[in-house]
Chains A and B, each alone.
Chain A
Amino acid sequence: MNNLKARLAKERRFRLYGILSIALALTLLSILFISIFSQGYTAFQETKIQLDINFEQSVLDPKKTKDWDVVKKANFNILIKNSINELFPDVSGRSQKRKLKKLISTSGEYQLRNYIKNNIEAIGTTKKMWLLADDDVDMLIKGHINRSLPENERRIDNDELKWIEVLETKKIIKKFFNKTFFTSGDSAESEQSGILGALLGSLFALSITLIISFPIGIATAIYLEEFAPKNNKFIDFIEVNINNLAAVPSIIFGLLGLAIFLNFFELPRSAPLVGGMVLSLMTLPTIIISSRVSMKAVPPSIKEGALGVGASEIQAVFHHVVPVAIPGMLTGTIIGMARALGESAPLLVIGMVAFIVDIPQSVTDPATALPIQIYLWADTPERGFVERTSAAIIVLLIFLILMNSLAVYLRQRFEKDIN
C-alpha cells in the first residue's frame, strides 16, 4: 500500500503545480490590467474651462452679412482672448497675456467656429461655453503634475498655477467625459487627439480581411478535406505550404504586400484596403487549418449515411459535414481575425504608420490601425499621451474581448442548432 500513498501524493502534487501555475498567470495578468487601467482611466476624462464668450459683431461679421462664407474667415481667437482677459483683468503685458490664453487648447477657436456655423444667429450675443483646456492644465487637474514641486520642476509655472486656482475657486474648470477621445483622429496636441481614426482604420482593414479570407479559406478547407484527390503529390505540396505559411513571420507578409500590392499593382499607400489584403494573407492559413480540423472532427458515419440514401458527394458535404463543422470554422475565423486586429508589423511596412489626423471615410483613405496608434503614442514623451496610450490599449482589449465573446456566442448558437 506504500505505492498507493506515493501515487496519491504525486497526484496531489501535480494538482498543486497546476493551481500554482494558474495563480501565477492570473497574478501577472492582473498586474498588467491594473497597470494599464490605473494609467489609462484618466484618459476617459477631459478638462474644460467655462468662459463667457461674447460673439462680437465687430469681430465676426462687421458688415452684418450673416453669410457663413464671410464669417468663417474671422479671427475667433480674439473672442477667447477677450473673454479670458476679462476674467483676469489685472494680467498685463504681452507675454503674460499670451500665457493666459495658452490655458485654453488651440482647438478652442474651432469649437467656437463650429458653434457659429450651426447658430449664425448667435452673432452679437454672449454665451457661456465650456472650452477644452490645454493638456498641461488637464494633467494638473487630473493630478499628474504635483503642485508642491518647485516651479522649475513642473510644466505649469507659478502664474499659471495661480490662475488655475482662481478658476477652481470659481468652479469654472471641470472634468467631463472625454468625448474628444472617441470622436477625433490623431493630433500633435494630446488633448485634441482621439482614437476614432485608428479604430475605423482597424475596422475597415478587418472587414477587407474578412471579405477576402473567410470565403477563400472555407472553400479551400472544404476542397482539400473532402474533394481533393488523396495521395496526390501536388495536393501534398499545397498542404505543406499552407502549414508553413501559418508560421511565416507577419512582417514578411507586409513586405510581400509592399512589393506586390503597392509597387506592382500601385494600390494607395497607407490604406486599410491594402492593410486588409496583407492581413488576409496572414489569416488565411489559420482559417484553412482550423476549418479542416473541425471538418475532420465530423464523424464519417454521418457522411456515409447521407451517401447511403443517395446524396451526391457535394450534397453529403454541404448538407451534413459543413453544418456540423461551421461552429469550429467560425471560431477559427474569429481567432484569426483577432490576431489580425492585434497585428502591427505588416501594417508598418505598407505605410499605415503615418501621422494621420483625418478620419478615414473609406477603405482607400489613408489610416492607421489600433496597435499602430498605440505604438505611435507610446513613442511620444508628453504626459498627455502616456494616459492616451493606456486608453488605446484598453480600447483594443475591449475590441478583442468583444470579438472573442462573439466567437463563443456563435459557437454555442450553432451547436444548439445542430443538437
Chain B
Amino acid sequence: MYNTDVMNDNKNIIDSDDLISQTPSKLDNAKTVGNIHVEDPRIIAKNINVYYDNKIAINNVSIDIGKNEVLAMIGPSGCGKSTFLRCFNRMNDTIESCIVEGELYLDNENILDKKTDVVPLRAKVGMVFQKPNPFPKSVYDNVAYGPKIHGMAKNKIELDEIVIKSLEKAGLYEEVKDRLDTPGTSLSGGQQQRLCIARTIAVNPEVILMDEPCSALDPIATARIEELIYELKENFTIIIVTHSMQQAARVSQRTAYFHLGSLIEVGSTDKIFTTPQHKLTESYITGRFG
C-alpha cells in the first residue's frame, strides 16, 4: 500500500526471467561469499527472512555493520536491497502483507522484537528516501518537526540551534538561511534531498539509512550528497542502497551484493570492485546484467 516500489521489487523476483535463471528457492542454500563479520559491530543481522504474502523477498541474510562505516548495498532491481534496508528501522511494519523473521541487533537490542517501540527506534535509525519528500511546511518546520515530537528542545532558542546545526551539517544552511520560512517543497531537488538529510540528522540518530538518495538528482547535486555522506560518516553509521556502482565505490568502505533476495557477497569495497569472488557479483559489476 505505502511503498509500491517495494511491492514491485517483490513481483520482479517471482516473475523474473533474469538471464541468470536462478529462483530464490534454488538459492536457498547459497552461502554468502566474503566475511560478513566485522570487529566491534554496531549492528548484527542474523538469518533475516522477509516475506510478502508468503512469497520470499529476503532469504536468510546475515551481516554485521561496524561503527562509523558506510555500507553500500548494490544489486539488480528487485533483489531485495530496499526491503532489507527497511528492516533496520522497521519501516516494513507499514506494509501489512510483509513479514520479517530473524534477529537484528542494534546495540545489543533485538529491534525486530515485537516489544521494541518503533518510535525511539526510528529516532535512533533515521532514513532518507529515494525521492526527496520534504513535508509541505516551511524549511524550518521540516527540520524542527523531529526534535519537536521527541521533545528534544526545551525552548525556542534550543530548537533554533538544533535546526541551524542540522542544516549546517547537511550543507544547506548557507543556501537557505534567508528563507527558512519558505516552503520546503519550493527548493530544488538536490536542496530538498539535503533538507531531508537535515531533517533526519536533527533527531540525532546513530544510524542513517539511505534508499537510493541520489536517484532523482542531477550529477552536481549527487556530488554534493556524496560529499555530505563522506562527512557524515564521522558521526554516523550509514547504510546506503544504490544503483550506481561508481557511487558505491566512492562513498563506501564495505559493499554488499544482493541477488534475488540473497546476500551473495560482502567485502571491502576495493575488493568487491577489483576482485569479486562470486561469479554473479562479477557479472553484475562488469555490467553483464542488472
Contacts and interface: CB of A to CB of B under 8 A. Distances in A.
Interface string B109-140: 00000000011111100110101011111000
A302 B96 contact: no
A419 B136 contact: yes
B281 to A, nearest CB: 30
A309 B146 contact: yes
B260 interface: no
Interface stretch (A78-86, A108-116, A164-172, A312-320): A312-320
A315 to B, nearest CB: 6
B129 A310 contact: no
Interface string B176-200: 0000000101100000000010011
Interface in A308-351: 308-312, 315, 319-320, 323-324
A148 interface: no
Contacts of B131: 301
A319 B146 CA distance: 12
B51 interface: no
Given A310-B149, A320-B135, A303 B123 contact: no
B30 interface: no
B91 A308 contact: yes
A310 B136 contact: no
Contact of B89 (A231, A308, A319, A324): A308
A300 interface: yes
B199 A305 contact: yes
Contacts of B155: none
A310 B135 contact: no
B2 A303 contact: yes
A93 interface: no
Contact of B133 (A230, A301, A315, A324): A301
Contacts of B185: 419
A323 B203 CA distance: 23
B145 interface: yes
A418 interface: yes
Chain B contact-residue range equals: 20 to 34
A308 B121 CA distance: 10
A11 interface: no
A311 B149 contact: yes
A295 to B, nearest CB: 13
Given A307-B122, A309-B122, A310-B123, A301 B96 contact: no
Nearest to A299: B133
A246 interface: no
B246 interface: no
A236 interface: no
Nearest to A312: B119
A310 B201 CA distance: 12
A59 interface: no
Given A301-B133, A418-B136, A306 B3 contact: no
Contact of B94 (A304, A310, A324): A304
A308 B136 contact: no
A309 B133 contact: no
Q: Of residues A231, A308, A324, which shows the largest number of chain B Cβ atoms within 10 Å of its Cβ?
A: A308
A305 B134 contact: yes
Nearest to B94: A307
Contacts of B186: 419
A416 to B, nearest CB: 10
Contact of A230 (B1, B91, B120): B1
A107 to B, nearest CB: 59
B150 interface: yes
Contacts of A301: 129, 131, 133
Nearest to B132: A301
A311 B120 CA distance: 9
B1 A308 contact: no
Contact of A304 (B2, B136, B145): B2
A419 B183 contact: yes
Given A308-B89, A419-B183, A231 B96 contact: yes
B136 A309 contact: no
Nearest to A230: B96
Interface string B145-172: 1100110000000000000000000000
A312 B196 CA distance: 18
B119 A304 contact: no
Contacts of B196: 305
Nearest to B1: A230
A189 to B, nearest CB: 59
A319 B145 contact: yes
B122 A310 contact: yes
Contacts of A306: 135, 145
A319 B144 CA distance: 13
B149 A315 contact: yes
A323 to B, nearest CB: 8
Contacts of A310: 118-123, 146, 149-150, 203
A304 B203 contact: no
A305 B149 contact: no
A301 B150 CA distance: 21
Nearest to A300: B2
Contacts of B91: 304, 307-308
Interface of B: 1-3, 89, 91, 94, 96, 118-123, 126-127, 129, 131, 133-137, 145-146, 149-150, 183, 185-186, 196, 199-200, 202-203
Given A300-B1, A308-B89, A310-B119, 4 more contacts: A307-B91, A308-B200, A309-B145, A320-B135
19 contacts: A302-B133, A302-B136, A304-B94, A304-B129, A306-B135, A307-B122, A308-B127, A309-B123, A309-B145, A310-B118, A310-B119, A310-B122, A310-B149, A312-B119, A319-B145, A323-B136, A419-B136, A419-B185, A419-B186
